[in-house]
Structure 1
Amino acid sequence: MVSIISRSAWGARPPRSRSTTTWSRRVEVTVHYSQGPTTQTPRQIQDYHMDSNGWADIGYNFLVDNQGNAYEGRGWLVIGAHAAPRNTEGIGVCFIGRDGDATSAAKRTIRALYDDANHRAGRTLAQKGHRDINPTSCPGDDLYAWVKSGMPVDGEPPPDTPPWPGVYLRYPPITRHSSVTTWQSRMRYRGWRITVDGAYGPKSKNVCVQFQREKRLLVDGIVGPQTWRATWEAPITP
């Protein structure tokens, strides 16, 4: 779980109104940037949204600064005002800063919020940048490329290499491993029905076999270099 700085801790104003949704209607996490300096505070962003935009509250569900601190905006199930017409479907997470400002710490926290959302929803949500929904430059080229690459964090294998040196994902599994979770999440994101549990069991192998047939790869049920790379090929339409 992510440690989140509460609204009261950052001095949030009370909302003028609020509408809620359910986890069954949440299907995606949408990443934004504030397009302002990293010194912005959530309260400054809230003041702008409420006083200049006339919104009921700060628009985002969560915000993240470049130290990796997470701030509660509207929260998990309050409908935001960040990416119409998909505010009910999407959880908006805003990085406080401009294009290129996002640190590894900030990305780790955004990813942690995404993982937490998946846990709460009980399924894998789509990963989106604001520009996937509206004609905008948000969340900047750097964060957008990171989102479309699957939100990788430190310690995860890059998409153009085998899962880890000398060992491929196969059944029977050697052990639970973050590489398995990464592959399962990616396959789930591509639309395959697969459980994301970090264990490469018979169901994961079956998905791998079907995927290899679809991509006309060697059908062996093993996620080796070719299958791993194919998992990350664009385009991906959740």
Structure 2
Amino acid sequence: MVNITNRSGWGARAPRNRSTTTWASRTGFTVHYSAGPPTQTPRQIQNFHMDTRGWADVGYNFLVDQAGNVYEGRGWLVVGAHAAPHNTSHIGVCFIGRDGDATPAAKAAIRGLYDEANRRAGKNLSRSWHGGLSGNSTSCPGADLRSWVRAGMPVSGGTTPAPTPPASARPGTTAPAWPGPILIQPPVRHTQTCRRWQTRMRERGWRITVDGWYGPASERVCRQFQTEKRLSVDGRVGPETWRASWEAPIT
């Protein structure tokens, strides 16, 4: 999992509006650069996009600095404003800096975001750079990052093919037999069933601690998942929710 500084962590302004998409609609991953000094902050870039360009928010889905720190922009499934007409289909990631400023740490972080996007999508997204997308005549992200993307976004000195998500993380995987007992709280109980379910939810991209304890945080994830999948929303992990955790599409 990629360590991402959330919006509140970098002092983001609230967006004026937002629209979302689905993983089924995501087909690509696009690399950009800010073309400014690497000392820029995500907030400065957001201010420029909102106040000068009149956009609803920072244009990118994520931003990465020279040290390899990752910052949440619009996030995984919010439509960006980085490369029209590809904003719905492509996740936009911006390196904060100019051509030649990208460090190995920055490239590793961008590659980590790409691998995480593939894991969440349950498929391999196409790799691209801003100027390589149809309808986008621009030198962004500069010669260095453009060559790096063309080479397959290698890290540690070698070209690493984009991994195929493990079978356990793909939608449509047959659920293991329901082991029981039903997960419910209070009281907070520790079970292997809970640990296995938490692990599966983590594989699907949910932020959940895998510790085997079914408490308020796990119940909150359960309710959110049940709402998303249009199941009975009761906060209990029983046979129906268990099965959906493996077999329902990742959205």
Note the C-alpha offset of 1:155: 5.4
Matched, 1:148 2:150: yes
Q: Extract structure 1 runs of 4+ deviating beyond 4 A.
A: none
Deviations 1:78-126 (A, max 9, x none): 0000000000000000000000000000000000000000000000000
* TM-score of the pair, normalised by structure 2: 0.64
CA distance in 2, matches of 1:60, 1:49: 10
Structure 1 gaps of 5+ residues are 159-181, 187-194, 198-238
Give the alignment of 1:10-25 within 5 angstroms: 10-25=10-25
1:74 matched to which residue of 2? 74
Identity across the alignment (%): 67
2:89 matched to which residue of 1? 89
* SS of 1:23 mapped into structure 2: coil
CA distance in 2, matches of 1:71, 1:103: 16
CA distance in 1, matches of 2:32, 2:157: 24
CA distance in 2, matches of 1:45, 1:196: 33
* Kept after mapping to 1: 8 A contact 2:122/2:165: no
* SS of 2:144 mapped into structure 1: helix
* Kept after mapping to 1: 8 A contact 2:118/2:165: no
Deviations 1:154-200 (A, max 9, x none): 053x5xxxxxxxxxxxxxxxxxxxxxxx45x39xxxxxxxx565xxx
* TM-score of the pair, normalised by structure 1: 0.67
Give the alignment of 1:82-231 within 5 angstroms: 82-133=82-133, 134-154=136-156, 156=158, 158=159, 182-183=160-161, 185=162, 195=164
Structure 2 gaps of 5+ residues are 167-251
* Kept after mapping to 1: 8 A contact 2:69/2:106: yes
Matched, 1:45 2:63: no
Aligned length: 165
CA distance in 2, matches of 1:85, 1:41: 26
